[in-house]
Amino acid sequence: MPLELSASQALGLWHAVSFGQVKLDGRDLTLRQMAILLEIYLVPPPHTVRGLAAKLGVTKPVITRALDTMGDMGFVTRERDERDRRNVVIKRTVDGALYLEKLCDLIIDQGRALKP
Amino acid sequence: MPLELSASQALGLWHAVSFGQVKLDGRDLTLRQMAILLEIYLVPPPHTVRGLAAKLGVTKPVITRALDTMGDMGFVTRERDERDRRNVVIKRTVDGALYLEKLCDLIIDQGRALKP
DNA sequence: CTTCACCGATACGGTAGCGTAACGAAGTCT
DNA sequence: AGACTTCGTTACGCTACCGTATCGGTGAAG
């Protein structure tokens, strides 16, 4: 069920959603942070710092910092892995799910409102 | 010609594009900067600092700084308005158009690659 | 000419991101 | 036991962004 977008639709959608996100939600997440957050919520767990860093092609401190920030926002939690106590497992939260749900609504609404 | 997206498609698309943009293009534009850039390129000119600030609901220095950064990247240029020399008119550039073209391709490709 | 309004840029102190490098804790191996 | 590896985190110096306040430069009105 692929999605066939015209150039105008593609950029128009990106524009409208970025725009709406800036106006409606004061938080100014970086593209990296957004990618990390979506990775955590859309890909089956478990998620680790190491794994996310490798998958996104960034260094580990980038992930640690992003998790710090998004942890403060209440979007993620960290827990030690009891099976191998070197690892830290990243957990989803209700607030994070709500945040992405709002983003999802925005994307759908803006897609629906697209001019041809 | 509106676009009907499922929740899974909406977030999946956002995820894939954010992800691809992080991996393929080192530049880590802020959501605000992205919104400003798309506003400049998708909405008919002229664009002014004042106008963009008002439309996005941010302060003028935010726009000035974003234009500085994106000017360094070669994505926009500024020119004084000769009719009212208080104004500065923001101009598009070839490099900016190319950047957005790549983004556009990414969105279309990822939309096409979406799993249902 | 003076005054006032407007526009974009700049200054300032503060915060948050960056990459590199090093660290402590935990597991592995001999 | 000790040496080595693998985790995530922290430290460091740096850059970029933030909001508030203010600054020149320009135009308009008296």
On chain C, which bases lie within 7 A of the protein's CB atoms? 6-11, 16-21, 24-28
- Whichever domain contains A51, its CATH number is 1.10.10.10
B27 touches strand D (CB under 7 A): no
d(CA B49, CA A100): 31
- Model confidence at B50: pLDDT above 90: yes
- Parent domain of B67: 7-112
In-domain check, residue B2: no
Q: Residue A70 — pLDDT band, cuts 50, 70, 90?
A: very high
- Model confidence at B116: pLDDT above 80: no
In-domain check, residue A1: no
Q: Which residue in chain A has the smallest CA separation from B58?
A: A23
In the predicted model, what is the mean pLDDT of residues A93-105? 96
CB contact under 8 A, B15 and A108: no
Q: Which of B7, B38, B116 sits opposite A1 (nearest CB)?
A: B116
How many independent structural domains does chain A possess?
1
Q: What is the pLDDT of residue A26?
A: 79
Q: Residue A54 — pLDDT band, cuts 50, 70, 90?
A: very high
Q: Residue closest to D21, CA→C1'?
A: B61
Q: What is the pLDDT of residue A61?
A: 97
In-domain check, residue A2: no
B69 touches strand D (CB under 7 A): yes
- Residues of chain B with C-beta less than 8 angstroms from the C-beta of A28: 30-32
